């Protein structure tokens, strides 16, 4: 390469790095600062313990289920059929492709619409304070996610309690589906919301939000990558005498030195942050196909009186949710008292209820879940490992059955042994995504997850250093802009 071409190449890289840095330096600083907050205060999400705390106990001795509702559990279009109690009356929730419809269990009448008056009664038995304000909304900052679509419109109820609690009641099921407090909302405004660019006006338009985060992250990745290349080139040119060509103690000197020292970490965070919005662009999504769900469930019909198995499941004073399940071609009924506390009984062969499914019952359906592939091996996971794990704010069930196949994609399937459902499909591409996104962005390596305090200290330290590095870039950008105006 001739000297002129080399000079042009360096000038081009410097220009790309400079102008991307000017445009994104404030965003970088915000990402690092808000990331440190998220280590301790994640985005508000109702836990299973909170959900069960707000469910009414079911009077099993009195409940009856209309045959027309029970027949829905036998159709492939129904993904779930649940029974809860709504103001002392049993309700059946039918989860289908078009959303959730709820019916009075005894008569089959419905779909039910939960109005504001009924929402008030739900909150009065759940909340700790008096109702201060009730409003019916489509969504807001804390319910804008698509996961709430089946429950809209929502009744937002603000309580007059010390925590300034806000509860959200589904108009479709009468269940409380989200809870926030003054603290969770406040921390999210300086944590998750800016970090994810999660302002309601943007997040309502999924394609806009997806593209915005993706392209800003990719622009940031290019900006950091060009800076790293330039930093190494300039370091090598002055390696014999000094680390950097810039004067000691100057802003450019510290930008160059800190970029050489931590640029790889910043690059990893920028790239993996963009991959959080991959959604199948470069890696597979990990979602099982509808056909796989159906093959695992099998086809069966729920016949007879469900009352015959209700009494076997649990103490009638504590059951809060009953669900009809199809697993490996057999019908089951599960009664839940709370998170991790459930009993399951086979409808066709009532007997001793069990807490989890036997892994062997899935042996005959494993081969049909991935057509044309053989089962390499399978085992039950009683503990988390590198590719299946949970965290405090994102718990996952145990035990699970892992089935590995010998297909070209090297597919793994995880089956929840508490519900009999297919959780995820991990092919080689998705397992690579676990490294390129989760490990690089959240540093959730198994040995770190086992040491949560160490992991928090590590991530916060990196975020603080990254924020200082970004603020240095903000100062350089400001000086550059002022020089062009003078």
Is the same domain home to 206 and 276?
yes
- For residues 422 and 457, state if they share a domain: no
**Per-residue model confidence as pLDDT tens digits over 242-277:** 677 777 777 888 888 888 888 889 999 999 999 999
210 and 273 belong to one structural domain: yes
pLDDT for the residue 132: 93
Query: Does 372 map to a domain?
Result: yes
Q: What is the reported pLDDT for 415?
A: 94
pLDDT of residue 410: 95
**CA 38 – CA 459 distance, rounded (Å):** 10
Residues 477 and 413 in one domain: no
Q: For residue 458, how many other CB atoms are within 10 A of its CB?
A: 14
- Nearest-Å Rg of the Cα atoms of the chain is 27
Q: Is the dihedral of CA 31, 36, 37, 42 positive or negative?
A: positive
- Asked if 274 and 207 sit in the same domain, the reply is yes
Q: Find the angle CA(11)-CA(14)-CA(16) to the nearest 5 degrees.
A: 110
User: Is residue 128 classed as helix, strand or coil in its secondary structure?
Assistant: coil
Q: In this predicted structure, what is the pLDDT of residue 252?
A: 82
Low-confidence ranges of the chain (pLDDT < 50): none
**Which helix (H) or strand (E) covers residue 241, if one does?**
none
Dist CA 403 CA 303 (whole Å): 31
Query: Cα torsion for 204, 208, 212, 215, to the nearest 10°?
Result: 150
Our count of domains for the chain comes to: 2
The two tokens of residue 316 are 């009638």
pLDDT of residue 273: 93
Distance CA 446, CA 435 (A): 12
pLDDT for res 343: 85
Look at residue 326 and tell me if it is in a domain: no
Q: Is residue 88 part of a domain?
A: no
Strand order in the sheet with 166-170: 130-137, 154-160, 166-170, 176-180
Instruction: Specify whether 413 is located in the same domain as 457.
Output: no
H-type alpha helices, 139-250: 182-190, 192-195, 200-203, 206-237
Cβ contacts of residue 53 below 8 Å, gap of 6+?
Answer: 126
Residue 410 lies in a domain: yes
Specify whether 369 is located in the same domain as 413.
Answer: yes
Tell me the pTM: 0.90
pLDDT for 23: 86
Going through 365-486 in order, the beta strands assigned E by DSSP cover 375-381, 400-405, 412-416, 422-426
Q: Which domain holds residue 34?
A: 3-41+202-282+453-485
Q: Judge whether 411 lies within some domain.
A: yes
Residue 418 lies in a domain: yes
In a domain, 475, yes or no: yes
165: CB partners within 8 A, 6+ apart = 127, 128, 129, 158, 159, 179, 180, 181
Is residue 9 a part of any domain in this protein? yes
Over residues 14-72, the pLDDT tens digits come to 888 888 888 898 999 999 999 999 999 999 999 999 999 999 998 888 888 888 887 76
């Amino acid at each position: 390469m001739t000297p002129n071409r080399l000079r042009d190449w360096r000038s081009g890289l410097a220009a790309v790095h400079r102008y991307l840095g000017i445009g994104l330096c404030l965003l970088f600083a915000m990402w690092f600062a808000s990331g440190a907050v998220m280590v301790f205060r994640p985005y508000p999400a109702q836990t299973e313990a909170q959900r069960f705390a707000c469910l009414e106990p079911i009077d099993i001795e009195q409940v009856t289920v209309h045959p027309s509702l029970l027949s829905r559990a036998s159709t492939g279009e129904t993904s779930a059929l649940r029974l809860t109690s709504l103001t002392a009356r049993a309700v059946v929730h039918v989860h289908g492709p078009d959303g959730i419809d709820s019916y009075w269990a005894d008569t089959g009448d419905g779909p039910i619409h939960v109005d504001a008056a009924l929402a008030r009664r739900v909150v009065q038995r759940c909340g700790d304070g008096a109702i201060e304000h009730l409003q019916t909304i489509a969504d807001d900052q804390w319910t804008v996610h698509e996961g709430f679509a089946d429950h809209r419109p929502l009744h937002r109820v603000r309580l007059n309690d010390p925590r300034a609690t806000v509860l959200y009641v589904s108009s479709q099921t009468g269940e409380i589906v989200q809870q926030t407090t003054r603290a969770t909302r406040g921390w999210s405004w300086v944590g998750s919301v800016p970090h994810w660019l999660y302002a309601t006006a943007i997040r309502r338009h999924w394609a806009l939000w997806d593209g915005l985060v993706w392209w800003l992250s990719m622009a940031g990745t290019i900006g950091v990558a060009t800076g790293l290349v330039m930093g190494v080139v300039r370091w090598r040119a002055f390696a014999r005498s000094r680390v950097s060509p810039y004067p000691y103690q100057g802003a450019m000197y510290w930008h160059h030195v800190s970029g050489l020292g931590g640029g790889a970490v910043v690059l990893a965070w920028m790239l993996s942050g963009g991959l959080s919005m991959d959604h199948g662009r470069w890696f597979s999504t990990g979602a099982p196909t509808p056909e796989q769900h159906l093959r695992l469930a099998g086809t069966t019909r729920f016949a007879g009186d469900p009352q015959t198995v209700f009494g076997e499941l649990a103490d009638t004073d504590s059951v809060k949710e009953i669900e009809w399940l199809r697993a490996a071609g057999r019908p089951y009924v599960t009664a839940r008292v709370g998170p991790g506390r459930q009993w399951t009984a086979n409808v066709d062969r009532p007997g001793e209820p069990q807490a989890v499914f036997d892994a062997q019952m899935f042996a005959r359906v494993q081969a049909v879940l991935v057509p044309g592939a053989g089962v390499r091996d399978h085992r039950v996971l009683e503990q988390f490992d590198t590719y299946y794990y949970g965290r405090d704010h994102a718990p996952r069930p145990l035990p699970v059955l892992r089935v590995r196949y010998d297909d070209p994609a090297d597919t793994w399937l995880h089956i929840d042994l508490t519900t009999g459902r297919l959780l995820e499909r991990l092919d080689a591409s998705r397992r690579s995504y676990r490294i390129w996104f989760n490990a690089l962005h959240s540093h959730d390596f198994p040995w770190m997850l086992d040491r949560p305090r160490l992991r928090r200290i590590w991530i916060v330290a990196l975020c603080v250093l990254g924020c200082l590095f970004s603020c240095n870039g903000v100062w350089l950008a400001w000086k550059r802009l002022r020089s062009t105006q003078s």
